[in-house]
Amino acid sequence: MTKKIPTRIYLNEEEMPKNWYNLRADMQEKPDPLLHPGTLQPVTAADLAPVFCKGVIEQELDDTTCLIPIPEGVLDFYHAYRPSPLVRAYYLEKVLDTPAEIYYKFEGTNTSGSHKLNSAGAQAFYAKEDGLTSLTTETGAGQWGTAMAMACGFFDLGLTVYMVKISSEQKPYRKALMEAYGANVIPSPSNTTESGKKLQEKNPGTGGSLGCAITEAIETAVKTDKCRYVLGSVLNHVLLHQSIIGQEAKTALDKYGVKPDIIIGCAGGGSNLGGLIAPFMGEKLAGKSNARIIAVEPASCPSFTRGRYAYDFGDTGMTTPLIRMQTLGSGFIPSANHAGGLRYHGMNSTLSKLYRDGFLEARSEVQTDVFDAAVRFMKVEGILPAPESSHAIKAAIDEALKCKQTGEKKVILFGLSGTGFFDMTAYTAYNDKTMSDQVPTDADLEKGFASIPDIPQNK
């Protein structure tokens, strides 16, 4: 007889993964290297040293080591809030009346409310190891900023957060939360940087953007003694840290002999998706699994489904290395979309490459449909999902309903990356039916594409 699978599976402390999973090591064709925007040559560790901590630079440039040991100090941090539960969605299965088995890995039980803490802790640890005294970063919806504030509180580091101005006004409580952990939160664009001043001159009264906040944070990090910059998504070292999600999920499923047929994650910059799928994609690349792996993005910011595969900047100020990725252009301005965390113009390079090579599927959803799924989910599973995570819920429900039609008993795993505690404005808009499902026109996209650098590599 099969062992009954509990509703919530928690690994014991001894069972918890001791390694991160570097997916690039499994890829026969690697993602293209980051390029220095001046020389158009692959970046070196020395190029990145003024901006990033040593530990993460090493990880960013390593595409051959598959299992990278998690340092003791980071494991110690993880023990403060991990393991996260892997939940069997018995209640959702029942209400959908589907033969499918649905599981979700829930990353929202920590105070930051999302998976972002997994990389925040690692990056703060490496900063401490380098003898730094402070860090800078940006935040949009506020999850990453909160995670960094918590990590810096834990490791006793100073932190300056450039928060997209419109978000800081819409989410005063997010700001208060970061401040409660000791962070200095500055609405961006600000007058504390040259790039911030310049942007305000060009666009008076602008509400800011993630790309602009990144530029300000990098400028401040480079100008400040014993300070570096940290980023919450897009780069490969962030996905590496997030692989703790997939590592735990796989360990927990293996314990019960369960193999997922479909793995689903929401995708903004790619950190949650990349972290969730890492070991499963590894099996798929090795031919040991036929699982379908699906990225779900907002129709308002469709870098996978309507973007171009090109070398592009990570920020509006065009100060980052060039990244070959699915992109809408760093000049793309997403239409109003409450799922703030998914409003980024680009996509992690590894995920972009896997998508181009046919290992990763992608689809986009408008947000009313996403919130329909969220409310359906929350009434039976209890958890209030973040708008970002609800994109994955939407796809999981759709796949489960397909199984109902075909009678197939597939195993679906999706990532529930966070809670919606600070997104009640969006839920209110949904309840009041004032939510916009606006999608960019082809002309909107062309404007964004025009900002993609005109370099030989993009011909």
Taking CB under 8 A as the rule, does residue 449 contact its own copies? no
- Structure token pair of residue 100: 């499918």
Pairing assessment for the beta strands 134-139 and 158-164 based on DSSP bridges = parallel
Cβ proximity to its own copies: between 80 and 401 the closer is 80
Give the nearer residue to its own copies in terms of CB position, either 81 or 449.
81
The Cα–Cα gap between 142 and 139 comes to: 5
Regarding 256 and contact with its own copies (CB under 8 A), the answer is no
Interacting residue with its own copies among 2, 12, 64, 191 (CB under 8 A): 12
Minimum distance from residue 203 beta carbon to its own copies (Å): 30
Which phi and psi (to 5°) does residue 147 adopt?
-60, -45
Question: According to the binding rule CB under 8 A, does residue 6 interact with its own copies?
Answer: yes
Distance, in Å, from the CA atom of 282 to the CA atom of 266, rounded to the nearest integer, reads 19
3-state secondary structure of 139: strand
Cβ–Cβ under 8 Å, residues 173 and 422: yes
Binding mask 97-116 for its own copies (x = CB under 8 A): ------------xxx-x---
Task: Confirm or reject binding of residue 177 to its own copies (CB under 8 A).
Answer: yes
Cβ distance to its own copies smaller for residue 248 or 315: 248
What is the full DSSP assignment across 308-340? EEEEEESSTT--SPEEEEEES-TT--PPP-S-G
Q: Using CA atoms, how far apart are residues 451 and 247, in angstroms rounded to an integer? A: 37
Give the C-alpha separation, 264 to 272, whole Å: 10
Q: What are residue 282's phi and psi, to 5 degrees?
A: -55, -45
- We find the least distance from the C-beta atom of residue 378 to its own copies, in angstroms, to be 7
15 binds its own copies (CB under 8 A): no
Q: How far is the CB of 421 from its own copies (least distance, A)?
A: 5
List the one residue from 45, 336, 401, 424 that touches its own copies (CB under 8 A).
Answer: 424
* Site stretch for its own copies (CB under 8 A), options 193-201, 243-251, 328-336, 414-422: 414-422
Nearest to its own copies of 344, 377 (CB atom)? 377
Closer to its own copies by CB, 280 or 430: give it: 430
DSSP H or E run through 297: strand 292-298
Least distance to its own copies, CB of residue 187, Å: 16
Instruction: Choose one: 8-16, 134-142, 339-347, 437-445; the region binding its own copies (CB under 8 A).
Output: 8-16
Q: Give the β-pairing of 308-313 and 19-21.
A: unpaired
Q: How many residues would you count in the chain?
A: 459
Binding residue for its own copies, selected from 104, 125, 304, 422, defined by CB under 8 A: 422
Pairing of strands 134-139, 227-229: parallel
Q: Does residue 370 contact residue 396 with C-beta atoms inside 8 Å?
A: no
Which of the stretches 134-142, 150-158, 271-279, 356-364 binds its own copies when contact is defined by CB under 8 A? 150-158
Residue type present at position 80: A
Nearer to its own copies, 108 or 307 (CB): 108
Tell me if 66 sits within 8 A of 30, measured CB to CB.
no
**Closer of 16 and 362 to its own copies (Cβ):** 16
Minimum CB distance to its own copies, residue 288 (Å): 30
Residue 13 touches its own copies, criterion: CB under 8 A? yes
- Per CB under 8 A, 80 contacts its own copies: yes
Residue with smaller CB distance to its own copies, 111 or 305:
111
- Residue 350-389 contact track with its own copies, rule CB under 8 A, x = bound: -------------------------x--xxxxxxx-----
# residues near its own copies by CB under 8 A? 42
Tell me the C-alpha distance between 296 and 84, whole Å.
22
Rank residues 6 and 50 by Cβ distance to its own copies and give the closer one.
6
- Which of 41, 42, 49, 179 is in the footprint of its own copies by CB under 8 A? 179
Among 103, 125, 154, 332, binds its own copies (CB under 8 A): 154
Q: Which stretch binds its own copies (CB under 8 A): 238-246, 286-294, 415-423, 442-450?
A: 415-423
- 12's CB contacts (< 8 A; 6+ apart) are none
Scan for tokens 């892997």, then name that residue. Answer: 86
Q: Are 306 and 445 in contact (CB under 8 A)?
A: yes
CA distance 282 to 286: 6
**What is d(CA 345, CA 326) in angstroms, rounded to the nearest whole number?**
9
Q: How far apart are the first and last CA of the chain?
A: 59
Inter-residue contact 247 to 328 (CB < 8 Å) = no
Work out whether 419 is an interface residue with its own copies (CB under 8 A).
yes
Residues near its own copies, by CB under 8 A = 6-8, 10, 12-13, 79-81, 91, 109-111, 113, 150, 153-154, 172-173, 176-177, 179-182, 375, 378-384, 419, 421-422, 424-425, 427-428, 430-431
